[in-house]
Structure 1
Amino acid sequence: MRKLLLIMMVAAANTLLAQDIFQQKLYAPDLVLKYREEASLSADQVEKIKSIYNGELAAYNSKKWDLDAMMVKLEQLISVSKVDSKAAMAQLEKSLVLEAEIKKMKLDMLLKVKNLLTPAQQEKLDVHKDEFVNERSITAPLSDNQRVSLRVKPGKDPDAKPLYVIIDGDEKRMTGELPADLDPNTIASMEVLKGTTATDKYGKQGKNGVIIINLKKK
């Protein structure tokens, strides 16, 4: 069990590192097409980038759905009181193979897009590199990372929502809704407080639990 958890932690760290490199050095089609005029893309470049994106989308979604199912199975395997380590390890290996295929597909697409752009166009797009990319995108920062997730299960009262505390350096923001523009790549750590621990620290606002999100230092 300890070996399984260690492999999952290493895989998650490698995933985040690869995604950071992709975001820093390459260009998501969504971003390029959004700022096509600012970057002075030609009509031919726009059509080629659309073709590259659409050509990969069906295969990407198919593999992504398969990976989602594999990770659900892995979660089931390790959730029981006595884990079948052999079965869990085999399931993890299968998911890692598929995840590698997805990353190769993503990298190939991003390289094709970058090679269509001139150095001047890349420079204009660089100013938007830190912009959040919607999760539906094939190039979303965490779209294919199944080991980093935040799920809040609703209780009997649908209005009983947890308090979200977003900490960014010396700034602290409290909200009843998870910000839609929150970039997962900026999250350094998360902490969940429940019961008296939450109310002792945040009073009545924490009666439904508190989710503390610490952002990375800029």
Structure 2
Amino acid sequence: MWKVIIRRVLLMIPQLFILSILVFFFAKLMPGDPFSGLIGPHTDPHEVEALRRAAGLYDPWWEQYLRWLGHAIHGNLGMSYNLHEPVTTVIGQRAVNTFWMSLLSVILTYLIAIPMSIVAARNEGKWQDQLWLTYNSITFGIPPYVFYLLIIFIFGYSLNWFPTGGTVSPNAMGTIPVFFSKIYHMILPAFSLAVFGTVGIFTYFRSG
């Protein structure tokens, strides 16, 4: 077992190295640079050039890559020039919401898929089974982004049952109201993720 784990970890090292090179070069191929947004009618071009030189944007590509890789290994992902905060701080703030939404989507996935699989398995060949098989086929065939937009339009805009943005209501005060407000804001995206998660689980449980 340990040999398998060590082998997979060793295989990940060159994969991560190649991935880091691709990320670096794709970022370099994007138009503009971090200082392009500073350019305006009243901006001194020489000041912008000085910032670019200070940031090492005119250094050889391999030197820029090694410097970027070294900073990334040490957890320094630079500054967000839009938010004026460290990138790690920006990611950390959003990672918490992402974690809870992912957890809620997993819970919803199993709450939907397991009963659905049991009903289909107990009624094999009947209308209940055909209903869930049709649901499975439709869900599998719809592009996720189309489904997400459809869910937002129906339940967010048309019926106005759920919020379409934000993470908590402005009028939520106190720990308990804030907690339930966050859950309420996460239901729509978590449900959208859960629907697609049910496809594989339904197939697995039904065939078992």
Q: TM-score scaled to structure 2, two decimals?
A: 0.27
Q: TM-score scaled to structure 1, two decimals?
A: 0.26
**Going by fraction, where is strand more abundant, 1 or 2?**
1
**Going by fraction, where is helix more abundant, 1 or 2?**
2
Larger C-alpha radius of gyration, 1 or 2? 2
